[in-house]
A and B are shown apart, each in its own frame.
Chain A
Amino acid sequence: MDYIVSSDILNEGDRIKPRKIKQAIVEIVSDSGEGAQKCGQSFGAISAKMGNGVWTVEIIPAEIQPPARSREGASGIRVRIGSDKVTNMGNHADLVIALNEQVVYGRIRQDAYNGNTLMFIENKWAKSEQETIRQQYSEALLKFKELGIKVVEIPMEEECLKLMPDPRKGKNMWILGLLSYMYDRDIPKAEDQIRRIFKKKTDAVIDLNIKLLHAGYDWARENLPFRYEVTPMDVDNDMVVMNGNEALSMGIMASGIELCSMYPITPATSVSHHLAENFERVGGIVHQAEDEISAIGFAIGASFAGKPAVTVTSGPGLALKTEFIGLAVMAEIPLVIIDVQRGGPSTGLPTKVEQSDLLAAIYGEAGDAPKIVLAAATIEECFHFVVLARKLAESFRTPVILLSDANLATGVQPFPRPKIDPLWLTNPIDQSPWKDGAGPFEWDENTGTSKRPIPGQKGGMYTVTGLAHGKTGKVAYDPEINQASVESRSRKIASFQKSLKPPKINGDPEGDILLVGWGSTLGAIEEAVADARAEGLKVSSLHLRFLFPIVPGLVDIFNRFKKVITVEINYSDTLGHPMITQENRRYAQLAWLLRAKTHMDIDCFSNVYGQPLNPEKVLKMIKSELKIENSEVKG
């Protein structure tokens, strides 16, 4: 095997001693339906159990069943494991396992590999009965080698055929075995993982998959002259491993919310799948409505009746819900709205990441409809922010929109096991008689907050209305009353903002560049900042969780940097095109918001390739901003 760098081989008698590395990025790519994701998720879960940092990103084709061996049809997964906490998908893969050569092209186009990438490729195509396939295969191998990728052909199918007649559904566990050897994973943990993922299958299926695991492991031991070890971290607390949508679902259950009213939409749907499976065990229930409008209306009805509720959706669904969100603001009905963002506008890129709903979330309604908008930046926050969102919704009697995105939705990362506070699970439903003569909107002069009557409370009978109304809840077209009530609803947002602290800066509190991000880009931005600082560059970053109202202290912070740039996955015009001027340039959404809030000249770095951000691109941008060489930026 001539591709192997000799330093990788540390022979110790017969056994190869694993070489210690700090991190590894592994991809498995295939046609859809070959189980690559299951293999990668398992590899990630085993690694997390061993105490490694993990981040996984699913590689999802645009079509549900793309034709086999199509270039844009790659289905699979990237798993990044590390000795420390891993917060993003990283740059180029160290290893790619490809089940056919065609799907690799799409990934190359997405810049997933470079000259340091090692590729294990299924070799059965070399012996295909079809001339064209044989030709495509050999052409591809030449091409990959030209790009500097080290290609190794592996007899995956052939080896699996020894255990089963149709290895299409078994190869993935053989590969898991190979990876387990190569990265020195715990075999009992791997076996346990197999038992877990096939728990609904027969014992025979489980046995066969464990055999495949061992076969892959043994084959690797006999044939691979190298091996790695990614030393795990010392963790004292229990960690949990789950993806962002599972974390949202767990957060919903832990928040004491009793009803999730939804309409299926990618990439939010799996939240409701997880809930549908588990919610009833903790006293909750999922309602699949006839559409998104009905979904939120149903949730609002439940919340009005004292039952904490959430509606979960993505961009197109958020658009449909706007009229009801306005009503919830107007009628001051607590509600959690989760938007797992995808590419837009319209149906857009259903499975791809984008952060384009920020302004729609904040300003999407007709009329003045201030509400709280939060964005989770990590999978851990997907859990805890739901608990927070419910609390804020009830304290401020308002809808709260929680933004997540397609990257967090399917990304998997370990985080400390949440400690569930029984207080989260209590119901606000108060059925003691309503204070005599008090109206349903006795707004506090200072905070704008008020107590709400809930059906069942004697003396509290009032009629919710989306029409203008005063403290008594009665329809009122009086100009003074309207001014006062709109003011009170706005006051709540201000009083909540007063309770927020200025955000923490990652890096020095002053310098040349401050990057500002929100949502799932946290890990990539902070890694880029760390790399830049290691090279001596004066770069820091800031990540916003509270988008509306916005955290205090930003002007002071921004003033200490020569340049402030937002980093976002949404569209902005790039200066340089003849049509684009300072005057007509459209800014990324957070940049737009910050410019309006701070009156400062805030720049942005953003794009809509539908890809999660990687640290390398951010680093390149930093260097080009600082006019450091070799810094061609494509964004």
Chain B
Amino acid sequence: MLVQTHEYCSVPSQDHDYGMEDYGKGVARWCPGCGGHSILTTVQRVCKDMQYEPEKTVVVSGIGCSGRFPHYMGTYGFHGLHGRAFPVASGVKFRRPDLNVFVVTGDGDCCSIGAAHWVHAIRYNMKMVALLFDNGIYGLTKKQTSPTSPLGTHSNTHPRGSVLPPINPIQTTLGLANVSFVAQTVDWNSAHLYATIRKAAEHPGLAFVRIVQRCPAFMRDLYGDIAVNPKNLILLSHENGINLKPKARKAFGRVIEHDPSNIHKAREHAEINNGIPIGLLYQNTDNARYDEYGAHNLGMGVEEKKQNLECLLDQYTTSNSV
């Protein structure tokens, strides 16, 4: 299938038909039952369905369980530093509009050590898909409190229960300047997960997707009930939102009509706490895009550069002038 959603989106070459195997490599070494597995398969499916050229696709991650993600992709990858996926991804994209960029980040990675970059990446609004793997805990380092851990979470750093209310990542993102796409989904509903990441990939700007992720190793109880009973999910539905086939819709106990152009309503829904609202909370395709600024003067030839440099040097040249 050919989809060209934006001028910068790569047009797949006709002589190729990429299959799932082109996007996968090795066996993911996450715990059995970890939400990471389904997210990986879904991203690979989206890449395949978008027919992204693997060599023109870059997955950038930070450090954490989620940070391993690029190693399992058949694309280019950048497994960088804890908290710093956004700056690297932004640098990759800034002068390479031809690349498809994904950012994979954990809740500690994004909302704690990398929080400054999160704020600014939203504001830069460069075309890329940012996936927040929110398992509400530090997984890789073995169960420390995360900024998204629910109040009272028992962890190795708060054995008597965490003492601060958590950050709500979608609420926070909805409050950031130049925000253009905020969606929420869960790792265990593959239809919704796929539709969300697909919608994100088609968004002309930074698409921020919080994925509620199960971590059976350390947070078995957190989403256990919810995962078993789909009635705990609240589907945000709209013709401009994330659309599911009628059959898939039926699984949801509650459906709320929500127009994703309405940021005030989006903020209201983000605060729902008697269930998890999933769907497209907000989208605006008209926001300023920093990658367009970054690419505005690409492709200048060596001759022209040299000429202009000589002109600049003229301004500083002393003898023979004046």
Contact = CB atoms under 8 A, between A and B. Distances in A.
B88 A298 contact: yes
B298 to A, nearest CB: 8
B84 A297 contact: yes
Given A287-B94, A304-B88, A305-B95, A282 B305 contact: yes
B186 interface: no
Contact of B322 (A188, A298, A418): A188
Contacts of B319: 49, 51, 235, 237-239
A420 interface: yes
B3 to A, nearest CB: 20
B71 A305 contact: no
A319 B41 CA distance: 40
B297 A307 contact: no
Interface residues of B, number: 60
Contact of A290 (B74, B77, B120): B120
Interface in A262-308: 278, 280-285, 287, 289-291, 293-307
Contact of B305 (A242, A290, A414, A425): A425
Nearest to B297: A280
Interface in A35-89: 45, 48-49, 51
Nearest to A49: B318
Interface string A170-208: 000000000000000000110010000000000000000
* Band of interface residues on A: 35 or more
Given A254-B309, A290-B119, A300-B88, A48 B318 contact: yes
Contact of B90 (A246, A298, A420, A465): A298
Nearest to A291: B116
B267 interface: no
Given A240-B318, A259-B95, A306-B96, A464 B309 contact: no
Nearest to A301: B91
A505 to B, nearest CB: 31
A422 B81 contact: no
B320 interface: yes
B58 interface: yes
Nearest to A309: B91
A287 B91 CA distance: 9
Contact of A461 (B55, B79, B312): B55
B179 interface: no
Given A291-B116, A463-B70, A464-B78, A261 B91 contact: yes
A455 B99 contact: yes
A169 interface: no
B89 interface: yes
Nearest to A52: B318
Contacts of B55: 455-461
A414 B319 CA distance: 10
Contacts of A297: 80-81, 84, 87-88, 91, 117
Contacts of B318: 45, 48-49, 51, 238-241, 414
B92 interface: yes
A323 interface: yes
Nearest to B82: A323
Contacts of B320: 238
A426 B91 CA distance: 20
A327 B81 contact: yes
Contacts of A455: 55-56, 58, 76, 92, 96, 99
A197 to B, nearest CB: 12
Given A49-B319, A305-B58, A456-B98, A327 B80 contact: yes
A21 interface: no
Interface in A100-125: none
Contacts of A496: none
Given A238-B319, A242-B316, A250-B313, A293 B56 contact: no
Contacts of A418: 313
A248 to B, nearest CB: 13
B306 interface: yes
Contacts of B78: 301, 304, 463-464
A417 interface: yes
Nearest to B77: A463
A298 B94 contact: yes
B322 A246 contact: no
Which of B58, B88, B90 is the most central at the interface, judged by chain A CB atoms within 10 Å of its CB?
Answer: B88
Interface in A424-438: 425-426
A367 to B, nearest CB: 13
A466 B68 CA distance: 11
A475 interface: yes
Interface string B162-187: 00000000000000000000000000
Contact of A463 (B79, B96, B321): B79
B12 interface: no
Contact of B80 (A239, A466, A474): A466
Interface string B299-322: 110111110111111001111111
B95 A307 contact: yes
12 contacts: A51-B319, A241-B318, A297-B80, A297-B88, A300-B88, A301-B92, A304-B92, A453-B76, A455-B55, A456-B98, A462-B77, A464-B79
Query: Sorted from nearest, which 7 A-B pairs have the closest CB atoms?
Result: A301-B91, A463-B77, A297-B87, A283-B300, A298-B91, A301-B88, A294-B87
Given A282-B312, A461-B54, 8 more contacts: A282-B309, A285-B95, A289-B87, A294-B87, A298-B90, A301-B89, A455-B96, A463-B77
Interface of B: 54-56, 58-60, 70-71, 73-81, 84, 86-96, 98-99, 116-117, 119-120, 293-294, 296-300, 302-306, 308-313, 316-322
